[in-house]
Structure 1
């Protein structure tokens, strides 16, 4: 099957976004670990793995089409944060950027009547709703539980409880 050069570029650009998200979450996890937020550290290590899995889905999809994925060099992520709340806000902004890119690819697929890519992207549309909701819910915890040491400790415990193993990659 053939895809347009525009769609191929968009899919390869998404590989960059997913790789950067994975590295960003890895840097966030490291910051959390050093800062004493072990629950958040475990949560973001798992998030990093999940984003890498998403990246691989795009790589496999392109390669399966014979379009050849481009493996990018990526810039170093931010590695220091003012607070756990600031870190979570950064994560939400990252997910919103990914959502916008996914929606742009869906629009390209619809315009080009690229049904295979559209079907592939549907999973990501639904995934992004979940990702944004996760981080919005965590941010709500700061208002509900507070920003003092006890509130932040409860949020760290919440993140520990929310940590899940990385999803299996069906393309592997």
Structure 2
């Protein structure tokens, strides 16, 4: 099966986006670990692994089609953060940009009448709904519980519980 050059480019760009997201989450995890947020560290290490899994899913899809997957260099992620809340807001913004990119790929697949890639991308569409909801819910905790030290400790425990939940598995 052949896919358009436009779709090949979009999927390879998504590989880069997922790789950068993985590194960004790794940096967030490191900051959390150094700062004493053990739950946040566990949560973001798991997120980093999840993004790498997403990247590999696309690499394997392209390789299965006989299309070269381009493995990118990654951008240097931010390493100094203001707070646990700011990290979660940054992560949500990142997930929203991933959602936009995935929706653009879906539009390309529809335009190209590329039903196989469209079906492949459905998993990512559903995954992004879950990811955005997860981060929105975590950010809400600051409004519900508060921002004092005890509240942040509780939110860190919630992050630890989220890290312990089963990670997504590629379909």
Aligned to 1:50: 50
Provide the C-alpha distance between the structure 2 equivalents of 1:39 and 1:32, rounded to a whole number of angstroms: 8
- TM-score, structure 1 length as denominator? 0.97
* Aligned counterpart, 2:159: 159
Structure 1 residue 166: Cα displacement: 3.8
The SS at the match of 2:18 is helix
What is the match of residue 85 of structure 2?
85
Q: Does 1:102 align with 2:102?
A: yes
TM-score by length of 2: 0.97
Q: 2:60: which partner in 1?
A: 60
**Partner-residue secondary structure (3-state), 1:74:** coil
| Contact map agreement 1:46 1:165 (CA 8 A) in 2 | no
Shift of 1:168: 4.0
Runs of 4+ with deviation above 2 angstroms: 164-170
Q: CA deviation at 1:162?
A: 1.0
Aligned to 2:137: 137
Secondary structure class of the residue paired with 2:78? coil
Aligned length: 170
Alignment of 1:114-153 (within 5 A): 114-153=114-153
| SS of residue paired to 2:126 | helix
Shift of 1:167: 3.8
Deviations 1:108-136 (A, max 9, x none): 00011000000000000000000000000
Q: Which runs of 5+ in 1 are unaligned?
A: none
Name structure 2 gaps, 5 residues minimum.
Answer: none
Name the Cα RMSD after superposition: 0.9
In 2, are the aligned partners of 1:43 and 1:159 still within 8 Å (CA)?
yes
